[in-house]
Structure 1
């Protein structure tokens, strides 16, 4: 019995140690010295920032926001690590529905939603709203975040268009809407490990 208890304790300790090691960040946010900018722009400015690529065309009542996130390359990045760049309306706790994104390495950036956002939301109260929402027993992810698969993709430039709120929009499809001020929109950088584990989140703007 004593041997069995010892083996069990060793096993539990080993599992706890593995989990600690798995979630240990290879570097902290201070190493990146990340910065973010966000501004309201017109269609011409947004088009020029992405030329020759196309961006979403704004209509009446829409607002166009042009953002940029940059960081310094860490000296010893972990293989398989990635980032999520989140824009969150602090008033409604919703993200934009669509983001156009590019970088110095355009193949390493994209937009969408994944389980890392759920895990970051669980850990950081100020990121409430970036994860999937439960509506009538089902989980929905209507908003989009920027996905960065390489630490070498800095700087990342993105455009998002906010549309006026439409009363007929179902709750599961609700996203950030216009009108909004730059100060209403939080910009955060989330460090994600190769297994989808969240290392840390840093509030860069607002």
Structure 2
């Protein structure tokens, strides 16, 4: 009887532990707010150098050469009530739907310039696996190694809205190694998908919202 009672207690403890793990995972991956709470808006247009420079001032915008295209974009949202400024972060992704590649260098500024930048991290890989329409934002396997050439915009605070960015697309160069390939000109605005990804403090992806195209 004692052996049976001990077995029952052991099973109960295992069930409690399993339930605790499931509960923790649910809480850990639960978004503090959804995309509807933000009311996100986005714009993207082709501009000339003077327009790009004015929009980015006092930050320096990328400069274009002959044959290049300059895209000016803006992503804005409202801060949900009762949400702390450091409650999660965002990735703004621009993806050429034709080649499934992101742009190279991106100039970015915001209402809080210190809270924005450009780069890539593991959250993009997680988002790509979860959302098929984001295929191309994660690392690419080339000759047995994984490479990331393109950049996304990183936003470390929900209080950084609005975010303004300029990207310059250069014509494709045949000599470019595949591991360094990024989005290229010529491109139409409709070719470029813009999305917002909400990321938690441990890199967990809460959600992704397709904003344009």
SS class of match (2:73)? strand
Give per-residue Cα distances to partners, 1:105-146, cap 9 Å, x unaligned: 100100000011011101000000011111122111111000
User: Could you say which residue in structure 2 is the equivalent of 1:30?
Assistant: 36
TM-score between both structures, scaled by the size of structure 2: 0.94
Quote the Cα distance in structure 2 between the aligned partners of 1:52 and 1:26: 33
Quote the Cα distance in structure 2 between the aligned partners of 1:187 and 1:49: 19
Moved more, 5-14 or 119-128: 5-14
User: Could you say which residue in structure 1 is the equivalent of 2:3?
Assistant: none
User: Could you say which residue in structure 2 is the equivalent of 1:16?
Assistant: 22
User: Could you say which residue in structure 2 is the equivalent of 1:90?
Assistant: 97
User: Could you say which residue in structure 2 is the equivalent of 1:42?
Assistant: 48
User: Quick check: which has more Rg, 1 or 2?
Assistant: 2
Quote the Cα distance in structure 2 between the aligned partners of 1:32 and 1:41: 27
Quote the Cα distance in structure 2 between the aligned partners of 1:68 and 1:80: 21
Quote the Cα distance in structure 1 between the aligned partners of 2:193 and 2:59: 26
Alpha-carbon RMSD across the aligned residues, in angstroms, is 1.1
Q: Which runs of 5+ in 2 are unaligned?
A: 1-6
SS class of match (1:191)? strand
Give per-residue Cα distances to partners, 1:44-85, cap 9 Å, x unaligned: 111111123211110111100000000000113254410100
Matched, 1:205 2:212: yes
Whether the 8 Å contact between 2:87 and 2:158 is mirrored in structure 1 is no
Aligned length: 206
